[in-house]
Amino acid sequence: MKKKVNCFSTNSLILFCLLCFFTFNSEAQGSIDDDRAFQHGIDFIPLSSGQYALVWSSSGAPLNVTNSNEWEHDVYYSFIDPNQPHINPVKIISRDEAQEPASTAITSNGKIMITIEDGWNPTSVLEQRYGVYNSDFSTTTKSYPQVVPVAGGHSGHVAAVGNRFVIFYSEEWVEGGGVDNLGSGDDIYAAIYDSNGNFLFQKNIAVGNTTRDWWPWVEGSNNYACMTWQRFVDNETYSDLMISILNPMTDNFSVAEKKIETNMEYYTYSVAAIPDSDNFLILGTHTDNTGFGILIDKNGNVLSKNNNLPPIVRESQSIIKTIGGETFIAQPKIGGGVMLLKLLDNNNIVLVETIDDSHQWQFAGTDGIWVNDSDIYIASLSTSGLIEKSFSFDQLLAISTQSKEEKIVVYPNPTQGIFTIKTGINKGINRIKIYDLKGSLVKQLEVIDGKTINISTLNKGSYLISINEASKHLIKN
């Protein structure tokens, strides 16, 4: 029998939050009960301008450590220029008690939804609330606080599919069992909204007295929402990983419920949509501290699986980019640093590169963006505030440089002294450096792409031309 927690006094709210969210983790620090008491929930969302919006929940910005153990969070945003990433916090949601974890999505027509679990003045202990904003974060008629249909909602996340939002959230708490005998969530639901935040319909994903389900995570592709969650396993400290896939435009499941993995570390999984497809990549960590990756299609069929990956960080997100027609995935890993994965043409998931780093990720939330074809920028929540990290992948840098060189044309070559460079990359000014075979710089200049260059004064011989960090050989007769 489940022993459900249906209602609490106000004085027990903090205890409820700790029960819902506390588990032991090797990355926890000192006497701090839970990293997420300080900050919790973070997302990058892409804007039509080419910039990103970063949204997160925090006990102050900068972090106010003295109040953090009270679980008092507000929600902040910052516009991020990928060419020069820098965080300038702007508070957008502020109430007493906790507004966390922050989860954010943007529709095709540029509407932004933020959803959070809120302990401020609820009708039932907690409420899963949301607000919809314009792309500049100006308010709409559905600005915060709006409430999902089921009272007592918590732990929700949101994704966008076309011009619809899907809020995937938990409800109630069941005492006992699990890690540290702290119990588990109970039921989970999906609420679907249009881009203006108007409620359309709700789906019962895992509701009833036979299972205990919680920590719902959702990601949207072009046409489907892939919902993942953990299911309680009796007398065990691991969980089963479940999926459900919904088309929110037609109100139809392609997969109502399916177990996709077992022996999983609580809370340690992520789901990401593969660009230009309705496939999804699920990454996670087993209880033996090994990582796994599962690629599925819209019907929940397993296209490939890799059980030999580094373990991922709890509440970290996949950072995906298509480079030269190939899909690459960066993911924070346990122990510090990141790993780089690649999807092959046969859908196999392969490990390309790992980068170690001394910073130990904490488990309150980590997300990132690609700033070019070889570098990523990551923002991670911690007990000391937002942590910003950048990583460069050598394997991708080599591919990027090779790709640039293939696009550069130098003609005529050999030359009598007058030649032209076309890069096919930069239609503006190119930085040109010319070296002799001894490596000495003999000439440097800036020229507009397609304009002629005169090296008549140089001696006959072979030269190396450096063009915007790529290079070409040139012979002067």
Any idea what the CATH number is for the domain that residue 419 is in?
2.60.40.3080
Q: Has residue 365 been placed in a domain? A: yes
Whether 285 and 431 map to the same domain: the answer is: no
Question: Which residues, at least 6 apart from 375, have a Cβ–Cβ distance to it below 8 Å?
Answer: 390, 391, 392, 393
d(CA 423, CA 431): 11
Whether 95 and 233 map to the same domain: the answer is: yes
Q: Find where tokens 């108007």 sit.
A: 198
Look at residue 65 and give its three-state secondary structure. helix
In the sheet with 302-309, reading across from the earlier edge strand, the strands are: 213-220, 225-232, 239-247, 252-273, 280-286, 291-296, 302-309
Beta-carbon count within 10 A of 123 CB? 9
Whether 177 and 118 map to the same domain: the answer is: yes
d(CA 100, CA 56): 9
The amino acid occupying position 307 is: N
Beta-carbon count within 10 A of 427 CB? 11
Whether 182 and 218 map to the same domain: the answer is: yes
Q: pLDDT of the chain along its 477 residues, tens only?
A: 344 544 433 333 443 444 444 433 333 333 456 888 889 999 999 999 999 999 999 999 988 876 555 678 999 999 999 999 999 999 999 988 889 999 999 999 999 999 999 988 888 788 999 999 999 999 999 999 999 999 899 999 999 999 999 999 999 999 988 877 888 999 999 999 999 999 999 999 999 989 999 999 999 999 999 999 999 999 898 999 999 999 999 999 999 999 999 999 999 999 999 999 999 999 999 999 999 999 999 999 999 999 999 999 999 999 999 988 889 999 999 999 999 999 998 899 999 999 999 999 999 999 999 999 899 999 999 999 999 999 999 867 655 555 555 567 788 888 889 988 877 655 455 678 888 877 788 998 887 767 788 999 999 888 888 876 667 778 888
Beta-carbon count within 10 A of 286 CB? 17
Whether 342 contacts 329, CB under 8 Å: yes
Whether 288 and 317 map to the same domain: the answer is: yes
d(CA 368, CA 320): 9
Whether 32 contacts 362, CB under 8 Å: no
Look at residue 275 and give its three-state secondary structure. coil
Among the candidates 344, 370, 393, a domain finishes at 393
What is the enclosing helix (H) or strand (E) of 16? helix 13-21
- Residue of 256, 270, 146 whose CA lies nearest to 204: 256
Whether 373 and 422 map to the same domain: the answer is: no
Report the Cα 388 to chain-centroid distance in Å: 14
Query: pTM for the complete prediction?
Result: 0.80
Whether 449 and 383 map to the same domain: the answer is: no
pLDDT at residue number 466 = 81
Q: Has residue 316 been placed in a domain? A: yes
Whether 388 and 413 map to the same domain: the answer is: no
pLDDT at residue number 205 = 97
Q: What CATH number should be reported for the domain holding residue 154?
A: 2.130.10.10
Q: Two tokens at 259?
A: 């177990």
d(CA 469, CA 432): 9
Whether 351 contacts 331, CB under 8 Å: no
Q: Has residue 132 been placed in a domain? A: yes
What domain range is 443 assigned to?
Answer: 408-476
Among the candidates 393, 417, 447, a domain finishes at 393
Q: Has residue 377 been placed in a domain? A: yes
Quote the number of domains for the chain.
2
d(CA 282, CA 261): 10
Whether 129 and 87 map to the same domain: the answer is: yes
Whether 139 and 237 map to the same domain: the answer is: yes
Beta-carbon count within 10 A of 281 CB? 25
Q: Has residue 401 been placed in a domain? A: no
Q: Has residue 398 been placed in a domain? A: no
Q: Has residue 87 been placed in a domain? A: yes
Q: Has residue 399 been placed in a domain? A: no
Whether 12 and 150 map to the same domain: the answer is: yes
Whether 346 and 426 map to the same domain: the answer is: no
Q: Where are the alpha helices (DSSP H) in 341-457?
A: 394-407
Among the candidates 393, 422, 451, a domain finishes at 393
